[in-house]
Chains A and B, each alone.
Chain A
């Protein structure tokens, strides 16, 4: 599903160079639930961003379904992000001026949408995460766990093959975290491929495979 070869990511500022990812080789299979762990600053988010086409590696190739995306331009990358990938962020990243429903609809805005109207899909996704009674709310009116469930609804509304979650439970208490984890597991059971960054060994144990990073290098 996702194949990374010899991935290297260097951040250059005027004074220092940081090697955030160093020769990463990875293959995520369809239907897998993979977790990534490692100390703060070891490159987990960077790795997830590269996988999700949100950031370009300095070296190496990223393949999606066997297709290298290195040569792709904005339009094609946008289409891939839109159709194949759903992102969940640690800090939710909802748009505060839009209602819950409008937030969830966002991925559908950038598709030529046929059939059922966008709202139906968005409501369906919200039902899956148990928030069908909050559609008209604004993000500020929601708890952290509710926000993250809206974010999950947004990630799954377009039925992507891959869900990339960067510490989805990092800002939540353990009960809420467990609930989110249950939703993700359900999605995985329904066929979604999931890659999740986490600090929590308990969460990681519930996934199929664990990848450990240390200073930008894969150690497990």
Chain B
């Protein structure tokens, strides 16, 4: 019977190529946008190269200091010293890394200037992050203690600086801002959408210009705390918070008197969303307003279109329905026929969307729009989007079904 329904559904779709096209277009567009968006969110927030361990990492990226009237506020990364005292020495985590936010710098190849992003890190950085070393090795505690002039560079920078050489460059010299460093390792780069690990050149934090000796709480550094296990995250957070709570208040930083101090160790996604929402209630409203609007445009309109198209498509078949009823089709059977039809077209749309999404993702990945982009289709995302479409498909089957059960056969056959 099901096969029969599908056969009928297929015939009906072929019978109305234009409507079928519109419907399929709506469904597949919705699903494609949905899948690309979630794939992008997953790219931004999920655990991917080289931050593969995000699910058991806590990010300490920002300190906020407020004055007693809560009108003045001072926020940004922290000092190396502060992070050493308050994060590095935590007892519950497996490992803690401290590194700088990325800074811009210049290097010269001949007379040509290369703009590059640099980052100062400790040795643990290479343990917490899962960089793939194409050549050489990361710098070690030893290098850091000795203040060695060594760097880890990305394959992208290697290409630029060494003019597309295929030869290994470990041991070679790079000159950045007038200082010579020895290349000790080459890694596959991280996309700019992962600012924690994005850089062209990595220095040991004891290299010049890192400012790691700065006193005070604020500075240019951030930290990632790697818990032993996902289930430990809460405990690690609490330990860190306990230490923050013991910081004597009020205090003075660069002449700014603060009465309150906030530094959070948060999972990456929480931190990311927190930063968007940090802009106060106005921005929050706009943010959620935009999300609601976009969701409505992406899901609501195609859904309404879907319902509308299905209803008119089925009502157009009033006389056929009349005939079928006259020869003994129970309403229930006809309703099933429509539901199967809607589900069938939804699956077709889903299949098209899957292909479209793969194409779009491939285009994004290969366009260089985001260097090192590695978007993938998330199976869960796909299933959820399909489910959403199925629900709409069912909904749009119910409405005509209601109309149909009221349809008087004699009336339907008159037209």
Name A's B-contacting residues (CB within 8 A). 45-46, 49, 52, 54-55, 74-75, 78-79, 81-83, 87, 89, 93-95, 97-98, 106-107, 109-111, 154, 158
CA distance A83 to B330 in the complex (A): 13
Q: A54-B410, A93-B413 are in contact. Are A78 and B323 (CB under 8 A)?
A: no
Query: What are 6 A-to-B residue pairs whose CB atoms are below 8 Å?
Result: A45-B410, A54-B410, A74-B405, A78-B325, A81-B327, A106-B323
Residues of A within 8 A of B332 (CB): 74-75
Partner among B319, B328, B408, B410 whose Cβ is within 8 Å of the Cβ of A78: B328
CA distance A83 to B327 in the complex (A): 9
B413 and A82: CB pair below 8 A?
A: no
Q: Is B132 engaged at the interface, CB distance under 8 Å to the other chain?
A: no
CA distance A83 to B329 in the complex (A): 11
CA distance A113 to B101 in the complex (A): 74
Residues of B within 8 A of A154 (CB): 327
Q: A49-B410, A74-B405, A89-B413 are in contact. Are A106 and B327 (CB under 8 A)?
A: yes
Number of A-B contacts (CB under 8 A): 66
Task: For the A-B complex with A78-B330, A95-B320 known, give 12 more contacts whose Cβ atoms are closer than 8 Å.
Answer: A74-B405, A78-B331, A81-B327, A93-B413, A97-B11, A97-B12, A106-B324, A107-B327, A109-B329, A110-B328, A111-B328, A158-B327
Q: Is B333 engaged at the interface, CB distance under 8 Å to the other chain?
A: yes
Q: A55-B410, A93-B413 are in contact. Are A87 and B330 (CB under 8 A)?
A: no
A54 and B4: CB pair below 8 A?
A: no
Distance from A163 Cβ to chain B, minimum over Cβ atoms (Å): 13
Residues of A within 8 A of B409 (CB): 49, 54-55
Q: Is B15 engaged at the interface, CB distance under 8 Å to the other chain?
A: yes
A52 and B331: CB pair below 8 A?
A: no
CA distance A81 to B332 in the complex (A): 15
Total interface residues on B, CB under 8 Å, equals 23
A110 and B405: CB pair below 8 A?
A: no
CA distance A89 to B408 in the complex (A): 16
B326 and A54: CB pair below 8 A?
A: yes
Least CB separation from A52: chain B residue: B326
Distance from B72 Cβ to chain A, minimum over Cβ atoms (Å): 72
CA distance A144 to B152 in the complex (A): 86
Interface residues of chain B: helix, strand, loop or mixed (majority): helix
CA distance A84 to B11 in the complex (A): 29
Distance from A77 Cβ to chain B, minimum over Cβ atoms (Å): 8
Residues of B within 8 A of A110 (CB): 324, 327-330, 333
B4 and A109: CB pair below 8 A?
A: yes
Contact with A along B306-348 (1 / 0, CB 8 A): 0000000000000110111111111111000000000000000
B323 and A95: CB pair below 8 A?
A: yes
Residues of A within 8 A of B328 (CB): 78-79, 81-83, 107, 110-111, 158
Contacting A at CB under 8 A, from B1-59, are 4, 11-12, 15
Distance from B401 Cβ to chain A, minimum over Cβ atoms (Å): 12
Distance from A117 Cβ to chain B, minimum over Cβ atoms (Å): 13
Residues of A within 8 A of B331 (CB): 74, 78
CA distance A46 to B323 in the complex (A): 16
Most buried by A among B11, B331, B408, B413: B413
Distance from B3 Cβ to chain A, minimum over Cβ atoms (Å): 12
Residues of A within 8 A of B12 (CB): 97
Least CB separation from B317: chain A residue: A95
Least CB separation from B4: chain A residue: A109
Residues of B within 8 A of A79 (CB): 328, 330
Least CB separation from A107: chain B residue: B327
CA distance A125 to B165 in the complex (A): 82
Distance from B232 Cβ to chain A, minimum over Cβ atoms (Å): 60
Residues of B within 8 A of A94 (CB): 323
Residues of A within 8 A of B15 (CB): 97
Partner among B327, B329, B408 whose Cβ is within 8 Å of the Cβ of A87: B327
Residues of A within 8 A of B324 (CB): 106, 110
Least CB separation from B323: chain A residue: A93
Least CB separation from B324: chain A residue: A106
Least CB separation from B412: chain A residue: A54
Distance from B321 Cβ to chain A, minimum over Cβ atoms (Å): 10
CA distance A74 to B326 in the complex (A): 12
Residues of B within 8 A of A111 (CB): 328
B329 and A78: CB pair below 8 A?
A: yes
Distance from B415 Cβ to chain A, minimum over Cβ atoms (Å): 10
Distance from B116 Cβ to chain A, minimum over Cβ atoms (Å): 66
In the A-B complex, the 9 residue pairs with the smallest Cβ-Cβ separation, listed nearest first, are A82-B328, A78-B330, A55-B410, A54-B409, A107-B327, A110-B328, A49-B410, A81-B328, A54-B410
A93 and B319: CB pair below 8 A?
A: yes
Residues of B within 8 A of A46 (CB): 410
CA distance A55 to B190 in the complex (A): 72
Residues of B within 8 A of A83 (CB): 328
Distance from B329 Cβ to chain A, minimum over Cβ atoms (Å): 5
CA distance A55 to B407 in the complex (A): 11
Least CB separation from B332: chain A residue: A75
Distance from B10 Cβ to chain A, minimum over Cβ atoms (Å): 11
Distance from A136 Cβ to chain B, minimum over Cβ atoms (Å): 15
CA distance A106 to B409 in the complex (A): 16
CA distance A51 to B146 in the complex (A): 104
Distance from B183 Cβ to chain A, minimum over Cβ atoms (Å): 72
